[in-house]
A and B are shown apart, each in its own frame.
Chain A
Amino acid sequence: MSDIDIKRISYLAKLKLPHEKEEFYANSLKDIIKWVDNLKMIDTSETEPLHNVTEKTVSIRKDEIKKSNSVDDVLSNAPERAQNFFKVPKVVE
Chain B
Amino acid sequence: MKSSISQIKASLRDKKISVEELYDEFLIKAKSSKTNSFNLLLDKENNTLSIKESQKRYENGNPLPLDGIPLGIKDLFCTKGIRTTASSKILSNFTPNYESFVTQKLLDDGSIFIGKNNCDEFAMGSSNETSFFGPVKNPWKNKNVPTNDLVPGGSSGGSAAAVAEGTCVASMGTDTGGSIRQPASLCGIVGLKPTFGSCSRWGIVAFASSLDQAGPLTNSVEDAALILNSINKHDFNDSTSSNHVREDYSFGINDKLDQKIKIGIPSDYLKDVSRDILSQIENTKKALIKHNVEFVDVEFKTTEYALSTYYILAPAEASSNLARYDGIRYGVREDGKSLDDIYLNSRTKGFGDEVIRRILIGAYVLSAGYYDAYYRQAQKVRRLIKDDFQRIFNDVDFILTPTTPNEAFKIGDKLDPISMYKNDIYTVPTSLAGLPGISIPSGLSTNGLPLGIQFIGNYFEEKKLLQIAALAEKELNFNEQ
Contact = CB atoms under 8 A, between A and B. Distances in A.
Contacts of B328: 78-79, 86, 88
Given A15-B356, A77-B330, A44 B364 contact: no
A36 B312 contact: yes
Contact of B418 (A32, A48, A73, A79): A32
A14 B239 CA distance: 28
Given A12-B367, A79-B333, A88-B339, A58 B239 contact: yes
Interface string A66-79: 00110001101111
Contacts of A37: 308
B95 A77 contact: yes
A57 B364 CA distance: 30
Interface string B70-97: 0000000000000000000000011101
Contacts of B418: 31-32, 35
Chain A, interface SS category:
loop
B316 to A, nearest CB: 11
A12 B367 CA distance: 8
Interface in A23-63: 25, 28-29, 31-33, 35-40, 42, 44, 47-54, 56-59, 61
B298 interface: no
Nearest to A34: B418
B343 A44 contact: no
Interface residues of A, number: 52
A61 B236 contact: yes
Contacts of A77: 93-95, 97, 329-331
A13 interface: yes
B381 interface: yes
A10 B360 contact: yes
A53 to B, nearest CB: 3
Contacts of B378: 36, 39
Chain B, interface SS category:
helix
A49 B376 contact: yes
Interface in B316-350: 319, 323, 326-333, 336-339, 342-345, 347-348
A14 B434 contact: no
Nearest to A79: B333
B347 A44 contact: no
A44 B195 contact: no
Contacts of A48: 380, 383
Given A15-B344, A25-B356, A35-B308, A54 B197 contact: yes
Please indicate which of the listed interface residues B364, B367, B384 has the most CB atoms of chain A within 10 Å of its own CB: B364
Interface in B290-308: 304-305, 308
B359 interface: yes
Given A15-B356, A15-B359, 16 more contacts: A9-B363, A15-B360, A25-B360, A29-B360, A31-B418, A36-B311, A39-B305, A40-B377, A42-B305, A49-B376, A57-B197, A57-B243, A74-B97, A78-B330, A79-B328, A79-B333
